Amino acid sequence: MTRLKTMILGGLVGAFVMIQFIQPDRNDSGQVSKQSLTALYHVPDNVTQILQQSCANCHSNNTAYPWYTHVQPVGWWMARHIRKGKAELNLDEFAGYSDRRRVSKLRSMKNQVMDGVMPLTSYTLIHRDARLSKEQKQQLVSWLDNTIDSLNQ
Amino acid sequence: MTAIGLSCLKHEIALLLFFYRNLNLKVMKPFIFMVAIIATTIAACSNPQKSNAKTVISSPQSSPKEAPQNASLGAVMTHYLHLKNALASDNTKEAATASAQLHTALAELGKQLLSSAQKKAYSDISADALENAQHIADNGGNIKHQREHFQGLSEDIYDLIKAFGTSQTLYKDYCPMAKATWVSEVKDIKNPYLGKSMSTCGSVKETISKK
């Protein structure tokens, strides 16, 4: 019985060590994109900071990786989230969207933030500073509203 | 998986083989176990590309029935109106199905022979329309989210109608409460944003006659 336990434990520890060698690619271009949302529109500082702190880790080409994302399988899980997040909205490639899609994306951002769907709860549980206060939500939503209105004219 | 990751893995396997040759089987057992566990972990976790692929329910109606009538919106309109009516009667599952069919029809439309004006309109509109249709199809059960995307989708469809024309008389309706438009095949208002609770909210803004 003890031998079996040792075997299983040894197997698990060994597996854990070995999966550490499989590191997913980093989402970290290391540069400010000319195609980014902030280059395209006038974005006030407080909104820029909100986007940076609460959105950019999954919705841009530059993720700030905390240490534990270097531990697998956390890093794999994170990489999957980033890939999906960027497919839906990439703030660093916003200028690449057509006019029509820009409005769509901004509207979706507004709806998701107002509904509290974004930022994801599973994300804000760990990244406490990514949570949006009521005021931050208001600032973000009113900026989105203004931008959407100006694009619809 | 990075190249570095791979070469490390090779190294690790070489190490295992070394152990295997030099130690007796009793010591080796945990390692065999370990390899088995790793194999299952990798199989379970490292296949993100596939699991990420979005699936769309294929449409049984879009291709054979509505045979190419020289780039008409026929199938697109059928499924859009189906979707609109499903939302108007608060039927989120039916809306998802109709939207999946609409997605297929929109993609098919791009493969038809288009005039240059149609081609331009299609390339302007299709990416957004496809994305909206996809979201509605993926969110059966979340009618609020479906309606959010229906707003953008309706604008896309209206612009497509302007470029492609219509084989039936259509109406552009507007609801001031939802601040949103939609396209309908009937003159009576049946609001797809508010559903049964406020079915008659809104008014006809434009009649689009057939041409």
Domain annotation covers residue A16: no
Using a CB-CB cut-off of 8 Å, the residues of chain B touching A6 are 30
Judge: A80–B48 Cβ closer than 8 Å, yes or no: yes
Higher-scoring residue by pLDDT: A113, B16: A113
Helix (H) or strand (E) holding B184: strand B180-184
Domain that holds residue A94: 25-152
Label residue B7 exposed, middle or buried (CB < 10 Å: 0-12, 13-18, 19+).
exposed
Domain that holds residue B199: 74-208
Compute the average pLDDT of residues B47-65. Answer: 45
Whether residue B183 contacts residue B84, with contact meaning beta carbons closer than 8 Å, is answered with yes
A71 close contact with B: CB closer than 8 A:
no
| Number of domains observed in the structure of chain B | 2
| Number of domains observed in the structure of chain A | 1
Question: What confidence tier does B22 reach under pLDDT thresholds 50, 70, 90?
Answer: very low
Measured CA to CA, the distance from residue B140 to residue B105 in angstroms comes to: 19
Taking CA–CA distances from A88, the nearest residue in chain B reads B131
A96 close contact with B: CB closer than 8 A:
no
Domain annotation covers residue A100: yes
Give the per-residue pLDDT at B95: 93
Measured CA to CA, the distance from residue B46 to residue B204 in angstroms comes to: 53
A:18-47 residues touching chain B, CB 8 A cutoff: 18-19, 21-25
Q: Tell me, yes or no, whether B10 and B113 share the same domain.
A: no
Per-residue pLDDT tens digits for A35-79: 888 888 889 999 999 998 899 888 998 888 888 878 888 888 888
Give the per-residue pLDDT at B30: 52
Q: What strands lie across the sheet with B180-184, from one edge to the other? A: B180-184, B170-175, B203-208
Whether residue B207 contacts residue B102, with contact meaning beta carbons closer than 8 Å, is answered with no
Q: How many CB atoms are located within 10 Å of the residue B129 CB?
A: 29
Give the per-residue pLDDT at B100: 93
Asked if pLDDT for residue B167 goes beyond 70, the answer is: yes
**Residue-averaged pLDDT of chain B:** 76
Give the per-residue pLDDT at A62: 85
Give the per-residue pLDDT at A70: 81
